[in-house]
Amino acid sequence: MRRPVLAALLLLPLLAACGGGGGSGEQPTRAAGNGAGVPATPSTPAPAAGTPSSTAPGKAPATSQGPKNTVPDAELTPVTGSFTKKEKKYLSGRVPEGTDPAAILQAGQETCDRLAATAKIDRDATLGAIIAGDIKDAEGAVKGLCPELKPLIEDAEGGYADGTHEDPAPGTYRALTTAKDCSWSLDSATGGKHRITIKKGTRSFTSGGCYAWAKDS
């Protein structure tokens, strides 16, 4: 199975067996009467080759910023039950006005579950999804709800998604796919089809069909 296909599974609803704890050891607080459930986390497609990327040199995509008008921390209460201190900290500044905070919490916990479940099958696919921005606010969810998954975020740091990147950071990178149509071009580099070394002073780096590149340890 190609890694991009497997990574796309991150965006599908979790099986019931995955649970909702997000690896935190705490049960999520659910909103009463929310029969519609929580929508799956939307994906953000990786930019096509030749398209300027918003990724800063040597950095994974920035996490999404919180909404401008949010529920004050003092009013972060579920319909039933209560939030833990850890959950309230995660929800601070994340809940838009008029939104059930329990739904935001559940979405974050499901992100943790997706990361953990898919990493067990293919860690590189998970890293690629984080680097490409296919998992909304992965860093925020890990930091606030499932810190045990922090190594995934750390390994994604400094990666590049498919697209064009100006002034790429020097270093050795490996493509997170073995696809035959993976191709790349830059003005100063050495390496093979799925592994490259970017030299200092390289002006731009473009790749297509490679999904994402991670810094080689």
* Per-residue pLDDT reduced to its tens digit, 152-191: 999 999 999 999 999 999 999 999 988 889 999 987 655 5
Dist CA 179 CA 201 (whole Å):
28
What confidence score (pLDDT) does residue 79 get? 84
Please state whether the predicted TM-score (pTM) of the whole model is above 0.75: no
28 sits in the region (left: phi over 0; alpha: psi -120 to 50; else beta) called beta
- State the CB neighbour count (10 A cutoff) for residue 123: 14
Burial class (CB in 10 A: 0-12, 13-18, 19+), 117: middle
Return the sign of the alpha-carbon dihedral for residues 30, 36, 40, 41: negative
